[in-house]
């Protein structure tokens, strides 16, 4: 009798334990990948720096100070000063507040719209699928930054529109990925059973099918953040994103390009920051992909 | 094969229509009236009866008073004949402006792609041959850095090193092969990282196949097995990615042309957006998207040529 009671109550008690064990196993797997750990540490430092920017800096990021113009790194300006005399270290730290979220928000836009389109397209099929996939084909005809250029041309050049533009550019990859998974998931027995007992389509899509297809989408998101940060920095570099005097790494690089020969640190500081961030995101993304989707594990 | 090409060409038509629709919509989705923008750009935005008359005349001339469907059909028919309208800023025909700059952008993209293929395949093959060794780690780290580095910053580093310090190559300009080297390297390195990672991965798959073991058992040298047997079979997925990378390079040219002050349609598109020259924006976007569409078609067709096992029905 006691055994029966214990067995009956086991799932209730073991649920949090199982979750905790799974989280522990996840971090144990992650800790085996030194690249992913290095990436995570750099990202945590960058995020903390962005949050506590006002505490860890001594200057104002946007106030012009002509006497300090183009100073090389010294005790007052650790990473030097830009052509307007603004402290580069301060602008770098405040720039993280802009450059980091841009990548994450753009990927969030791509993932949320792309996943919904993929679910609907794969589940309903026929005309709906045809229309959505032709739309995706058209979007895919605009490679990389070109679709973002169309969106910026229509909405106008600013940082918010760059996030939207880069986000829209990423939609087709999610739609194609999720549609493929939905096509196989919708034939599963429990999905058919749910349909037979009259569960509404919306519930089937989001409660039964979505959990099955969300894994690969999460993997895609982790490896897309880096390229989203690069695209957004590129658009800001072209003058289509963050507008002066806001500190953003891409536009900081553009500010320093006239002084490349005489004062190379003005471009080196934001350049290293972008590369280090994207490299960290890519390393972490590779590590997460290996854990979350062993089928894609790099050999 | 011919039937497959016909089918692929037919399936490209709805996409072409969609691309032209998006390009056409740019002028109608922008805030404000195109005729007013054009008048402002020409410096005739003052109020008054004469400017009102000029505004009405311009709207009629641009066909903006017609229904949208009529406007689109007119736009598509003109575009099919190479007439993409006139630039708001220079008053030059958009079609001929793009045609003049297209060879420069194509030259840059093709050269960049060449660098990406040669370097990417070389690094990928080396990494797969020395799997899990320091050579593998070093080449993969190099490709990851290539993927993570902003091409515009890489451009600056190359200019600083090879133009300013060593004086080997020009820092900017569009004429001659010497002016092409730095922009093409800056454009191609990122794509080389993508190609290297993929070549390594597919090579590792192929190297585990039985026919490779057989070739090795026959006593063939490892290098011969890799180059003659494995690489040829590993190259098909790589061609797909190379097709996609062509698009990435085409859009990367937008930034590279700006960094190296090189004339091309990428830089033209950015300048057009910043100066609100919408016919030029429409034209550059339309030409780039159509070019990308046909490159992908060419990639699809090339599969059959490379792998006779692939039969298109």
Distance of CA B24 to the CA centre of its chain: 21
Count other Cβ atoms within 10 Å, centred on residue A269: 23
pLDDT tens by residue, B154-188: 999 999 999 988 988 998 887 788 899 999 999 99
d(CA A166, CA A231): 7
- Between chains, do A257 and B281 touch, taking CB under 8 Å as contact? no
Return the residue in B20, B23, B148, B172 with the most chain A beta carbons within 10 A, the one to mutate for interface testing: B148
**Under a CB-based contact definition with an 8 Å cutoff, are residues B282 and B24 in contact?**
yes
A30-63 burial code (b ≥16 CB/10 A, e <16):
beebebbbebbebbeebeebbeebeeebebebee
Closest in A146, A152, A274 to B150, CB measured:
A274
User: Tokens 């300048």, residue?
Assistant: B271
Amino acid B311: pLDDT? 53
Indicate yes or no: CB of A150 within 8 angstroms of CB of B152.
no
Cβ-Cβ contacts under 8 Å, A236 against chain B? none
Distance between CA atoms of residues B203 and A298, nearest Å: 12
Which chain A residues are within 8 Å of B204, Cβ to Cβ? 299
Residue ranges of domains in chain A:
30-297
Q: What is chain A's mean pLDDT, rounded?
A: 86
Distance (Å, rounded) from C-alpha A221 to C-alpha A230?
15
Partner A contacted by B250 (CB < 8 A): yes
Interface test with A, best of B257, B270, B290 (most A CBs within 10 A): B270
Closest-CA residue of chain A to B294: A141
* pLDDT of residue B27 exceeding 60: yes
- B19 to chain A, any CB pair closer than 8 A? The answer is yes
The angle that helices A210-237 and B231-259 make with each other, rounded to 10 degrees, is 40
CA nearest neighbour of A284 among A89, A116, A34, A58: A34
Smallest CA–CA distance from A240 into chain B, residue: B274
CATH superfamily of A30-297: MetI-like (1.10.3720.10)
Residue A294 to residue A298: CA distance in whole angstroms: 9
> In terms of CA atoms, which chain B residue is nearest residue A296?
B201
Contact residues, chain A, for B197 at CB < 8 Å: 298
Closest-CA distance, B306 to chain A, in angstroms, reads 24
pLDDT for res A10:
47
B255–A contact, CB cutoff 8 A = yes
- Pairwise CB contact (< 8 Å): A253 & B153: yes
Question: Does the pLDDT value for residue B5 go beyond 50?
Answer: yes
Closest CA to B180 of B117, B248, B113, B243: B113
**Spatial distance between the Cα atoms of A86 and A247, rounded to a whole number of angstroms:** 10
Please name every residue paired with B86 in a beta bridge, in sequence order, or none if there are none.
Answer: B93
Whether the link from the prior residue into B178 is cis, omega within 30° of 0, is no
Q: Is A194 left (phi over 0), alpha (psi -120 to 50) or beta?
A: alpha
Residues of B in contact with A275 (CB under 8 A): 145, 148-150, 153
Distance spanning both ends of chain A, measured CA to CA = 51
Confidence of residue A285 (pLDDT cuts 50, 70, 90): confident
B-proximal residues of A, 149-168, CB under 8 Å: 149-150, 152-154, 156-157
B29 touches chain A (CB under 8 A): yes
State how far the Cα of A165 lies from the Cα of A163, in Å rounded to an integer. 5
**pLDDT category of residue A298 using cuts at 50, 70 and 90:** very low
pLDDT tens by residue, A77-108: 999 999 999 999 999 999 999 999 999 999 99
- Residue, of A153 and B203, whose pLDDT is higher: B203
- For B65-89, how does the pLDDT look when each residue is reduced to its tens digit (9 = 90+)? 888 888 889 888 998 888 888 888 8
The whole-angstrom separation of Cα A21 and Cα A65 is 55
Q: How far is B49 from chain A (nearest CA, A)?
A: 30
All residues of chain A having their beta carbon less than 8 Å from the beta carbon of residue B160 are 260-261, 264
CA angle A205, A115, A30 (to 5 degrees): 105
Whether the CB of B211 is below 8 Å from some CB of chain A: the reply is no
Q: What is the rounded average pLDDT for all residues in chain B?
A: 85
Q: Is A96 on the interface with B (CB under 8 A)?
A: no
Question: Which of A144, A239, A261 comes nearest B164 by C-beta?
Answer: A261
- Model pTM score: 0.85
DSSP state string for B40-99 = HHTT----SHHHHHHHHHHHHHHTTTS-HHHHHHHHHHHHHTT---B-TTT-SBHHHHHH
Q: Which residues partner with A87 through β-bridges?
A: A81
- Written as six digits, the tokens of B58 are 């311009």
Which DSSP symbol is given to B161? I
Judge residue B81's burial from the number of C-beta atoms within 10 Å of its C-beta, 0-12 exposed, 13-18 middle, 19 or more buried. Answer: exposed
């Amino acid at each position: 009798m006691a055994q029966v009671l214990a067995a009956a109550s086991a799932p209730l008690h073991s649920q949090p334990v199982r979750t905790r064990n799974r989280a522990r196993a996840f971090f144990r797997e992650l800790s085996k990948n030194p690249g992913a750990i290095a990436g995570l540490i750099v990202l945590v430092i960058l995020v903390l720096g962005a949050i506590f920017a006002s505490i860890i800096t001594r200057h104002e990021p946007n106030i012009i100070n002509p006497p300090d113009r183009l100073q090389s790194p010294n005790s007052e300006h650790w990473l030097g000063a830009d052509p307007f005399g603004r402290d580069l270290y301060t602008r770098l730290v405040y720039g993280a507040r802009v450059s980091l979220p841009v990548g994450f928000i753009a990927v969030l836009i791509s993932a949320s719209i792309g996943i919904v389109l993929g679910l609907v397209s794969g589940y309903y099929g026929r005309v709906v699928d045809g229309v959505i996939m032709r739309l995706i084909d058209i979007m895919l005809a605009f490679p990389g930054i070109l679709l973002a250029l169309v969106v910026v041309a229509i909405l106008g050049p600013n940082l918010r529109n760059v996030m939207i533009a880069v986000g829209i550019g990423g939609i087709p990859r999610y739609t194609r990925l999720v549609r493929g998974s939905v096509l196989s998931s919708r034939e599963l027995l429990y999905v058919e059973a749910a349909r037979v007992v009259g569960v509404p389509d919306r519930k089937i899509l989001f409660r039964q099918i979505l959990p099955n297809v969300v894994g690969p989408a999460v993997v895609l998101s982790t490896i897309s953040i880096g390229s989203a940060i690069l695209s957004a920095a590129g658009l800001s570099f072209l003058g289509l994103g963050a507008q002066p005097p806001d500190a953003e790494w891409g536009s900081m690089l553009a500010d320093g390009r006239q002084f490349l020969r005489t004062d190379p640190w003005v471009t080196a500081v934001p350049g290293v920051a972008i590369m280090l961030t994207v490299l960290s995101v890519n390393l972490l993304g590779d590590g997460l992909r290996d854990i979350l989707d062993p089928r894609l594990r790099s050999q | 094969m011919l039937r497959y090409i016909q089918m692929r060409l037919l399936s490209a038509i709805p996409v072409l229509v969609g691309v032209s629709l998006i390009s056409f919509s740019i002028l109608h989705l922008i805030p404000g009236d195109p005729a007013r923008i054009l008048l402002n750009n020409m410096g005739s935005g003052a109020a008054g009866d004469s400017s009102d008359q000029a505004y009405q005349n311009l709207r009629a001339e641009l066909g903006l008073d017609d229904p949208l469907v009529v406007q689109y059909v007119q736009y598509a028919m003109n575009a099919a004949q190479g007439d993409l309208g006139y630039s708001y800023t220079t008053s030059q025909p958009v079609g001929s402006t793009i045609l003049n700059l297209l060879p420069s952008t194509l030259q840059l993209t093709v050269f960049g792609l060449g660098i990406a293929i040669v370097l990417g395949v070389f690094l990928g093959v080396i990494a797969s041959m020395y799997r899990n060794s320091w050579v593998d780690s070093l080449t993969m780290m190099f490709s990851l850095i290539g993927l993570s580095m902003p091409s515009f910053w890489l451009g600056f580093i190359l200019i600083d090193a090879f133009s300013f310090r060593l004086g080997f190559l020009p820092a900017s300009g569009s004429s001659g092969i010497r002016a092409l080297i730095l922009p093409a390297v800056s454009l191609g390195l990122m794509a080389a990282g993508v190609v290297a990672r993929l070549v390594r991965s597919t090579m590792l798959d192929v190297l585990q196949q039985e026919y490779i073991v057989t070739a090795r058992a026959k006593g063939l040298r490892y290098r011969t097995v890799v180059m003659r047997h494995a690489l040829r079979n590993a190259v098909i997925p790589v061609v797909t990615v190379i097709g996609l990378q062509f698009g990435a390079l085409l859009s990367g040219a937008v930034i590279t042309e700006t960094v190296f002050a090189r004339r091309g349609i990428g830089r033209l598109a950015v300048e057009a957006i910043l100066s609100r020259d919408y016919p030029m924006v429409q034209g550059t976007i339309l030409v780039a998207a159509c070019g990308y569409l046909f490159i992908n078609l060419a990639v699809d067709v090339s599969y059959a040529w490379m792998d006779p096992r692939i039969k298109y029905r």
